[in-house]
Structure 1
Amino acid sequence: MERRTFLRGAVAGASAAAFVGTLTHGAAYAAPAQNGPGPYGALGAADANGVQLPSGFTSRVVARSGQVVAGTSYTWHSAPDGGACFADGTGWIYVSNSEINPSGGAGALRFNSSGTVTGAYRILSGTRQNCAGGATPWNTWLSCEEVSLGYVYETDPFGVNAAVRRDALGRFKHEAAAADPVRKAVYLTEDESDGCFYRFVPTTWGDLSAGTLQVLKAGTATSGTFTWATVPDPDGAPTTTRNQVTGAKRFNGGEGCHYANDTVWFTTKGDNRVWQVNLAAGTYELAYDDSLVSPGTAPLTGVDNVTGSTFGDLYVAEDGGNMEICVITPDDVVAPFLRITGQSSSEITGPAFSPDGTRLYFSSQRGTSGSSSGGITYEVTGPFRR
């Protein structure tokens, strides 16, 4: 059964419906994605914002680091990184981490139904190097510290409730998170060259104050079966979490993570791979490997943040490469979707769709300056497949 069976029906917002798949699952052993024509055609010339897009798509800048967001009094944070969108009445909210150490944290942009920015504000302060994270079905944002013995903070995208540190999710070099309402678990990546892939099973679903941290165990192959084993000391001291369980599978630099319909995808930057874990079948495999792409040169390198569309396409952002977001289609074709020009010293971060699937948000973390103070946050609008 092709990958679309797992992806389709997932919504890019943070309501419970965003995480509940209604389609059946099947075997998850298809070849890694290969070069082919993208669903939207070739990229056009760079627009006024330096973004190359397929025909029918347009871009705009919605925020710049160190500058007041238009129509608000809030100064956008430096080094914008992982992000997500949340439904907000007739509009939506885009949250974005700040990968600064110290004083990272996260901010938010609020949009009305026509896409106009109506507010901007801080939702997390005083933390360290907040890289990626993940949305929960109960409308919170998990902001992850990408430092040794880092924490996960549960934040309120609406800016009402104070952020809470969630110690039970373990202390390690956190990267991204993805919530699974079927198995009532949160999956976590670790940005270490010998990192692991984890899941946290809360004692009560919807409450991350207590629960069990587990690590994926499997062989050394790129496909096979797996099991979960409990991490004895989630606080990571004196032994790091990744070294507490014999047989824990190693992954080279865990990055983005995305869940939809009994499957979780995550990326590893050290080997330019996208991994696909069939949670119902208890199997894993490669959805993409740049060393296995044919014909020609691999379009996707420096794999990083990842998100999915309601249609079933994966969108993978590059840290390095040639500043592209590439799409991996349900029939296992990989192709560039957009490219940012003139920003070779930056990386693309935080891709996330608006709840209706018509707008894609993301950032260039260091923009044209190559400095964390030069970040640019974009919106792309167009005929996305839904």
Structure 2
Amino acid sequence: MATLARRALWPAVAAAASLIAAVLVAPAPAHAHGVALVPGSRTYLCYVDGLQANGQIIPSNPACAAAVAQGGQQPLYDWFGVLRPDAAGRTTGYIPDGEICGGGTTKYAAYNAARADWPTTHLTAGSTIQLHYSNWAAHPGTFHMYITKDGYDPTKPLAWSDLQSFWSVTDPPQSGGPGGFNYYYWDTTLPAGKTGRHILYIQWVRSDSQENFFSCSDVVFDGGHGEVTGVGGSQPSGSPSASRSASASPSVSPSASRSASASASPSSPAGGGSGCTATWALQPSQWAGHFQVNVTVKNNGSSTLNGWTVRWTYTGGQGFEGAPWNGTLTGQPPNVAVTNVDWNKVLGPNASTSFGFNATGTAPASAPALTCTSP
């Protein structure tokens, strides 16, 4: 973020002063390691919720705001840093009950708060989703996944006895190299029969050291397909009737996944084809040489769509910073194509979903014309 204040042609003194000011406003992330991006962890989605155009973090979500009031902004600049250097795969008795989401650390203690208004990802029990886990620093190892047991109460401190193991994966593939906004990914079948609010907990156990990483993602099993609420002013908890944002987390960047209601101009008129339309919305989180976009895809037809692709053409040399979240990049700039992922492939009549991305370059002055097609 320090680059926000750098101007190569400024006099040396002015440049130094600006750099110091930028660091004070937006500390640069430490070279830590990773947490879940889909479904988004507490630290990640609170970063998404709070990130401002000037680099400060001022959350609108009440749980995130309380966490920042307690622990400051730095834990969210380091949203990928919930780790312990000597964990060595230990769980019960190593990290105390009530401190599990913060990894038993002082720095992330505020993210242990037992409350029901954290940013939330909406899922369907028994469905298969693709998990994304930041590879900010890549390591060999195993990801152990847990879900809270039936009857879990989000207003009570999380204990190890509340968690049950349901999946693990060793050395999954990566979307790209470390050091950016790429991620590990793997398909996971969620436990069947779950309803209501739960926590999806992941412990990443390195095989080349004793260092482990910890991630709590608040989810609700209500028939959702990865929608996220509780960021950008959307409702944080819910049911299928809740007013949910369709931009599931992120996945891939610290400024991903804002509610479409937070969109800034310009936005495009809907572009369509085969009953499918797509709408571009430039998001308010922008910084020098970078911008963020959310694209809403809607089935305006009378029959179910089984897959979709959105296309547009850049004319200003824009590119992608990392991969899209909730979409697969199948055509590279300038002739861009983004296709559905597994969990948002099927759209019934009047149903919608969305994908988003961070881009490099200058945001187009006018939104590009989008076309949406379905097989």
TM-score bucket of the superposed structures, by smaller chain: under 0.3
Structure number having the greater helix percentage: 2
> RCO greater where, 1 or 2, for CA within 8 Å and sep 6 or more?
1
Which has more strand, going by share of residues? 1
- TM-score after normalising by structure 2: 0.28
Q: Over alpha carbons, which structure has the higher Rg? A: 2
